[in-house]
Amino acid sequence: MAARNGVLGKTPNDSNSETGERITRVLPVHGLNISAQDTTQKLVERWTAEYERGNPEAKALLEAAEALRTRDIPVAFPTETVYGLGADATRSAAVQGIYRAKQRPSDNPLIVHVSSREQLQRLLRSPRGEGAFGQGLSSEVQGEASLIPPIYEPLISKFWPGPLTILLPNPTPSPLAPEVTSTLPSFGARMPSSPLARLLIHLADRPLAAPSANASTKPSPTTAQHVYMDMRGRIDMILDGGPCGVGVESTVVDGLLHPPAILRPGGIGIEEIRACPGWEDVRVGYKDGALQGKEAPRAPGMKYKHYSPKARVVLFEAGKGTEAVKSRLVRDLALGQEKEKVTSSLPRVGIVRTKCWMKGLGIPGTEYNHDGSTGSETSSVSNTHTDPLNPSSLVSFYQPTRLALSPSPELNSKTPIEMFDIDLGTDAESIARGLFSALRGLDEENVSIIYVEGISDTEGDLAAAVMNRLRKAAEEEIKG
């Protein structure tokens, strides 16, 4: 096959002969005729029809599935929450590839993704070495009593497939690679609602360990471009399914305790869970900050600083108006000028707005288009993939508006300031979808500090999940 932009013609084993760096290919799969409402059987039927008529996207999905079965390099793929970095959860060498690619601490457990309840049953009942996996796509359990604790049945019935992870006892002996559980007696499992994810897992015929496909501690990826920025040269293949719909990771629940607990807020809210039989008294079992010392995390994202861009993030609680932000900006500019003794580059500041802040904090200035011309525009969402086989052509999900602020008595500033403004909207759904992309977009602009307008975590469960992620990303929270 002829090379296209120097990417497609390479095989997964190829590397750049000059640098020795692994070549990372981005393969589009967002044009397949499949739906989240399709059953697994229907997904396979639709995929088979596409494959038989020679659809390159269907072939890309099969190539990725074969790589997951046979190789130790993880594959990045889209889910409804964020992009995942998948590997065969039953093979240590494959799971170790995840930790290497992400540079992730080894005591941070991984979530296991399955395509069906039957696949999870196989995982729970099969000891290592008995070959429950790898026997072909027809080897699912039929008519076997459920090994899933009954407490989870109402949640599975209501929320699977979907952004909910349940904690399950790890079988003894376990078919899971020990690196998945990080010495814990339990593991997290979920069935994604993304049809691409479920189809990939089914074709691979393996449960997939799949944390978010970002470098450890960085904002989670919600587009293929985000993955490419972090994983280029570390993995071989990224399946590009377009932007993710939810934008924050799955909710993690522990029904092995009494009362049951939510270990991580996410796409499913606490009130929705409390409406299910047996979960009326579910408690919050997480803290917005990271766990301290040697305490073992029971779910991903509990222990370490997480979701953080390169820039310093200052989070303002809901209701803090633009005057408070401008006052903080004056202080930070003064400190920066004192430390730097005036650098050759202009101060670059990022603003992430939600409910109340004015564009550019209401400070007069000149607005620039992305091509450098002056004009009026707002930060915008872009779903355009001009050439998904060429990673350099993939665009950011959110494009900041660039504002040039002249020296201003209001800011007590003697030098111009470049401000990059992003408006995430006012509803929790749009804020959750755009949060990680906004942080990454501002990192691309090389801002030194990002001010974020928080939302009230009493507005709903998704709002609580957003604030949980922001508190983990922020170095400081301005309250009161």
pTM: 0.84
Q: Are the beta carbons of 210 and 84 closer than 8 angstroms?
A: yes
pLDDT confidence of 344, banded at 50, 70, 90?
very low
pLDDT score of 450 more than 70: yes
Q: State the pLDDT confidence band at 368, using cuts at 50, 70 and 90.
A: confident
Per-residue CA distances from 218 to 21, 90, 102, 328, 374 (Å): 22, 27, 10, 25, 32
Distances (CA, A) of 52 to 39, 57, 59, 202, 389: 20, 12, 9, 18, 22
Residues 296-329 have pLDDT tens digits of 566 665 555 567 788 999 999 998 888 999 989 9
Q: Please give the Cα distance from 464 to 472 (Å, whole number).
A: 12
What is the structure's pLDDT at 306?
62
Tens of pLDDT along 120-163?
A: 999 998 655 444 565 444 444 455 678 999 999 999 999 999 99
Sketch out the chain's domains with CATH numbers.
25-240 (3.90.870.10), 312-478 (no CATH)
Query: CA 222, CA 307: separation in Å to the nearest integer?
Result: 12
- Mean pLDDT, the chain, integer: 83
Cα distance between residue 332 and residue 49, in whole Å: 59
Q: Where are the beta strands (DSSP E) in 287-400?
A: 312-316, 348-353, 366-368, 380-381, 398-399
Secondary structure letter of residue 212 according to DSSP:
B
Q: From the CA atom positions of the chain, what is the Rg in Å?
A: 23
Cα 46 to Cα 38: distance, rounded to the nearest angstrom: 9
For 58-110, the pLDDT digits (tens) are 999 999 999 999 999 999 999 999 999 999 999 999 999 999 999 887 778 99
- For the record, the structure tokens of 425 come out as 């909207």
pLDDT of residue 386: 36
pLDDT digits (tens, 9 = 90+) for 392-433: 444 445 678 999 887 777 777 667 789 999 999 999 999 999
What is the per-residue pLDDT for 2? 32
Alpha carbon of residue 125 to chain centroid: 30
Distance, in Å, from the CA atom of 229 to the CA atom of 222, rounded to the nearest integer, reads 12
Distance CA 472, CA 300 (A): 13
